[in-house]
Homo-oligomer: A and B are copies of this chain.
């Protein structure tokens, strides 16, 4: 049994209730037409409490953060010793496609519609993609013991991040177009192979183990 006081239990409970009510309202009425006050009322807490748990309104809808932004960095950090980053990410992505993993873009059509319809959420998603790329760049810089102003880790992270961003967007686009998860998976599989094949000549040897 995990050590956890009553206080922490209640916090989780409150946070969970707020997020659940928020998601419910957002899906029903659209992100922009639901106010923080509405969420607070539905969760039966004060407006300020909502803000305490979710500093920005967008976080109410995109409560992934750590899981999402650390995805690429974790995959690379945990890969087999000596394996190129590109190969590890390729494998991980294709696995995620098979799992219909939400982290690479699989989502309910309603959820996808909610996100796409809101400029604020789209902007937040852009920010998350960037954070994810930065985290990957950090791992690559560390691993290769690159000098602080060596542009290579950032460049490689940008290439790899770009691939994942484009594939994420394709998943969302197809979801909005009404395709089934299996159709989307098949298409993503093809696109991913195209993408990773494209980068292979440039990145297959990174990081250099020489």
Contact = CB atoms under 8 A, between A and B. Distances in A.
Interface of A: 123, 126-127, 130, 149, 151-152, 154-156, 158-159, 161-163, 165-167, 169-170, 187, 191, 194-195, 198-203
A201 B198 contact: no
Contacts of A166: 151, 154-155, 158
A200 B158 CA distance: 15
Given A152-B198, A202-B203, 17 more contacts: A123-B127, A126-B126, A126-B127, A149-B187, A151-B166, A151-B170, A151-B195, A154-B166, A154-B170, A155-B163, A155-B166, A155-B191, A155-B194, A158-B166, A159-B159, A199-B202, A201-B201
A151 B200 contact: no
Nearest to A162: B158
Contacts of A199: 159, 202
22 contacts: A123-B123, A123-B126, A123-B127, A126-B126, A151-B167, A151-B170, A152-B194, A152-B198, A155-B163, A155-B195, A158-B165, A158-B166, A159-B159, A159-B162, A159-B198, A159-B199, A162-B162, A200-B202, A201-B201, A201-B202, A202-B202, A202-B203
A154 B154 CA distance: 20
Contacts of A149: 187
Contacts of A156: 198
A68 to B, nearest CB: 16
A203 B163 CA distance: 14
A127 B159 CA distance: 18
Question: Which residue of A149, A169, A187 has the most chain B CB atoms within 10 A of its CB atom?
Answer: A149
